[in-house]
């Protein structure tokens, strides 16, 4: 098991999926060796993340209106929140990226880390199943979920 797999609590059957999830698009611009990057996995991971968080909110906040659920979901899947999850896993350390991207602070950039986190979700989903991806997502979001249960977002009746 790799150090990152230990950190995330998941052992990949197909290690190429993990490699793809950790490959920033800038690599393919600088070398012919890599013919993949994490953008497609990010696309898939975003959809899985949205589904899991939406279902969780739907089941646990049965009395809330659709607008309130949307606000809660937006908070839980924001770029900043995803960056924090990625940083907690130290994902930036494991990313493969081009020299230019790295030189301009790519390992700490919010969009890069959020995208990598979504790509990791997509990779876990493809390597296993929805239930495993759901378990990973809810574990990463546990503190945020506990916080919104304790202090729900105020509803702005005008918007």
Tell me the average confidence (pLDDT) per consecutive run of 10 residues in the chain, 159 residues long.
94 97 85 80 98 96 92 95 96 91 87 97 99 98 88 52
Closest CA to 110 of 87, 136, 76, 144: 87
pLDDT score of 148: 83
Closest CA to 5 of 128, 107, 130: 128
Two tokens, residue 127: 């390597």
Q: Quote the CA–CA distance of 96 and 108 in Å, as a whole number.
A: 13
> Considering the entire predicted model, what is its pTM?
0.90
Question: What are the domain boundaries of the chain?
Answer: 3-150
Give catalytic status of residue 6 as yes or no.
no
- Active-site pick, 37, 46, 101, 127: 46
Give catalytic status of residue 127 as yes or no.
no
3-state class (DSSP) for residue 16: helix
- Active-site pick, 20, 37, 115, 118: 118
pLDDT score of 128: 98
pLDDT score of 158: 41
50 within 8 A of 77, measured Cβ to Cβ: yes
The domain 3-150 having CATH identifier 3.30.2130.10: the answer here is: no
Q: Quote the CA–CA distance of 117 and 24 in Å, as a whole number.
A: 12
């Amino acid at each position: 098991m790799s150090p990152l797999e230990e950190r995330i609590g998941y052992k990949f059957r197909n290690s190429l999926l993990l490699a793809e999830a950790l490959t920033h698009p800038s690599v393919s611009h600088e070398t012919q060796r890599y013919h993949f990057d994490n953008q497609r996995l990010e696309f898939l991971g975003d959809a899985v993340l949205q589904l899991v968080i939406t279902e969780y909110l739907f089941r646990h906040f049965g009395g809330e209106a659709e607008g309130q659920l949307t606000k809660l979901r937006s908070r839980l899947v924001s770029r900043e929140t995803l960056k924090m999850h990625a940083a907690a896993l130290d994902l930036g350390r494991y990313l493969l990226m081009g020299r230019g991207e790295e030189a301009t602070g790519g390992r700490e950039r919010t969009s890069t880390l959020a995208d990598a986190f979504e790509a990791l979700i997509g990779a876990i989903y493809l390597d296993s199943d929805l239930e495993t991806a759901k378990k990973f997502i809810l574990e990463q979001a546990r503190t945020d979920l506990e916080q919104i249960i304790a202090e729900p977002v105020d509803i702005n009746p005008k918007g």
